[in-house]
Amino acid sequence: MNLNEIIASDTHRKIILFFNENQSSIDTAKGVSTWIREERPKVKKALEDLVALNILNAYRATSTTGYSYTTDKKLISKIDKLLKK
Amino acid sequence: MEKIDREEYKRDLFARLKDSLGLKREEECFGACLGDASWWILDNPTYTAQELKSAVAQTCVLQKHQRSKTSRPAKPLCLKSVAQTIKRARRTKRPETFVCPGLRHGFVYPIIQGDTIYGFIGVCYTKRDISARILGVFASFTDTVVREVQKEMELAKLYETIRPRAIALSTIHTLHRLLTSTLDLNELLPRIARLSLQVVRANRCSIKLLDSKRKVLLPKATVDMRERKTTLKKVRVGKWAPGRAAKFSRPVRGDRYLAVPLIDEDVIGVITVYDKIDNSRFNSFDQEIMTTLAEQAVIAIKNAQLYKEQERLTLGGIKSLAMVLRSRANGASVAPHASYLKIATMVGHMLHLNGQEIRNLEYAVLLHDAGQIVIPDEVLRKPEKLTIEEYDLVKEHPLRSVDIIRPIKALRSVIPILFHHHENYDGTGYPKKLRDGQIPIGARIMAVVGAFEAMVTRRAYRPAMSIDGAIEEIRLQSSKQFDPKVVEAFLKVIARRDIFSAVKKECYESQ
- Per the CB < 8 A criterion, the answer to whether B270 and B208 are in contact is yes
Exposed/middle/buried for residue B470 (C-beta within 10 Å: 0-12, 13-18, 19+): buried
Q: What pLDDT was estimated at residue B119?
A: 85
Find the closest chain A residue to B175 by CA distance: A26
Q: pLDDT tier at B395 (50, 70, 90 boundaries)?
A: confident
User: Is 90 exceeded by the pLDDT of residue B282?
Assistant: yes
- The yes-or-no answer to whether B2-156 and B336-510 have a common fold is no
What per-residue confidence (pLDDT) applies to B71?
45
Of A35, A61, A71, the CB nearest to B178: A61
For testing contact with chain A, the best of B159, B165, B167, B296 (most A CBs within 10 A): B167
Sheet holding B202-211, edge to edge: B235-236, B216-224, B202-211, B267-276, B257-263, B252-253
Of B326 and B120, which is predicted with more confidence?
B120
Q: What is the pLDDT of residue B439?
A: 95
pLDDT of residue B77: 53
Question: Do B171 and A27 make contact, defined as CB atoms within 8 angstroms?
Answer: yes
Bigger pLDDT: B294 or B463?
Answer: B294
Q: Which residues of B touch A (CB under 8 A)?
A: 164, 167-168, 170-171, 173-175, 177-178, 181-182, 191, 194-195, 197-201, 225, 277-278, 289
Rounded to whole angstroms, the Cα distance separating B40 from B54 reads 11
> How do residues B192-224 score in pLDDT, each as one tens digit?
999 999 999 999 999 999 997 888 999 999 999
Asked if residue A81 is part of any domain, the answer here is: no
Q: What are the residue ranges spanned by the domains of chain B?
A: 2-156, 185-305, 336-510
Please count the residues of chain B. 511
Reported as a pLDDT band with limits 50, 70 and 90, residue B48 is: low
Q: Is the Cβ pair B174, A63 closer than 8 Å? A: no
Which one of A25, A55, A76 would you mutate to disrupt binding with B, by most B Cβ within 10 Å of its Cβ? Answer: A25
Which value does ipTM take for this structure? 0.92
Position B273 scores a pLDDT of 96
Residue contact B181–A22, C-beta within 8 A: no
pLDDT at B56: 63
Higher pLDDT, residue B125 or A77: A77
Distance of CA B450 to the CA centre of its chain: 42
Residue type, B485: K
**CATH for A60:** 1.10.10.10
Selected for mutation to probe chain B from A15, A20, A24 (highest B CB count within 10 Å) is: A24
For the stretch B152-193, pLDDT in tens is 999 998 888 899 889 989 999 999 999 988 888 889 999 999
Q: Mean pLDDT throughout B410-437?
A: 91
Among B130, B127, B110, CA closest to B118: B110
For the domain bounded by B185-305, which CATH number is listed?
Answer: 3.30.450.40
Chain A nearest CA to B416, separation (Å): 23
Residue A19 lies in a domain: yes
pLDDT at B492: 94
CATH architecture group of domain B2-156: 2-Layer Sandwich (3.30)
Q: What is the pLDDT of residue B426?
A: 94
- Pairing mode of beta strands B267-276, B252-253: unpaired
Q: What is the pLDDT of residue B47?
A: 65
pLDDT category of residue B65 using cuts at 50, 70 and 90: very low
Assigned domain for A82 exists: no
What is the CATH architecture assignment of B336-510? Orthogonal Bundle (1.10)
Q: Is the pLDDT of residue A30 over 90?
A: yes
Averaged pLDDT for residues A35-62? 94
pLDDT above 80 (res B388): yes
In single-letter form, the type of residue at position A51 comes to: V
Least confident range from A32-41, B30-39, B221-230, B269-278: namely B30-39
Beta carbons within 8 Å of B52's beta carbon, 6+ residues apart: B42, B79, B82, B83, B86
Q: Determine the pLDDT at residue B334.
A: 46
How far apart (Å, rounded) are the C-alpha atoms in residues A79 and A73?
10
Q: Look at residue B4 in the predicted model and tell me its pLDDT.
A: 66
| Binary contact (A28, B200; C-beta < 8 A) | no
pLDDT at B302 over 90: yes
Please provide the average confidence, as pLDDT, over all residues in chain B: 85
Return the top range by mean pLDDT from B120-124, B224-228, B360-364, B386-390. Answer: B360-364
Q: What's the confidence (pLDDT) of residue B62? A: 43
B321: confidence class by pLDDT, cuts 50, 70, 90 = confident
Mean pLDDT over residues B433-440, rounded? 92
How close A75 gets to chain B, by Cα (Å)? Answer: 13
Residues of A in contact with B278 (CB under 8 A): 73
> What band does B57 get if pLDDT is binned at 50, 70 and 90?
low
Residue A17: inside a domain, yes or no? yes
Residues 6+ apart with CB under 8 A from B314: B410
CA distance B347 to chain A (A): 24
Residue among A26, A35, A73 whose CB faces B175 most closely? A26
Q: Mean pLDDT in chain A? A: 92
Residue range B290-307: mean pLDDT, rounded: 94
With a cut of 90, say whether residue A17 has pLDDT above it.
Answer: yes
What pLDDT shows up at residue B13? Answer: 85
Structural domain count, chain A: 1
Tell me if A84 is assigned to some domain: no
Task: Name the residue range of residue A24's domain.
Answer: 3-76
Q: How far is B192 from chain A (nearest CA, A)?
A: 11
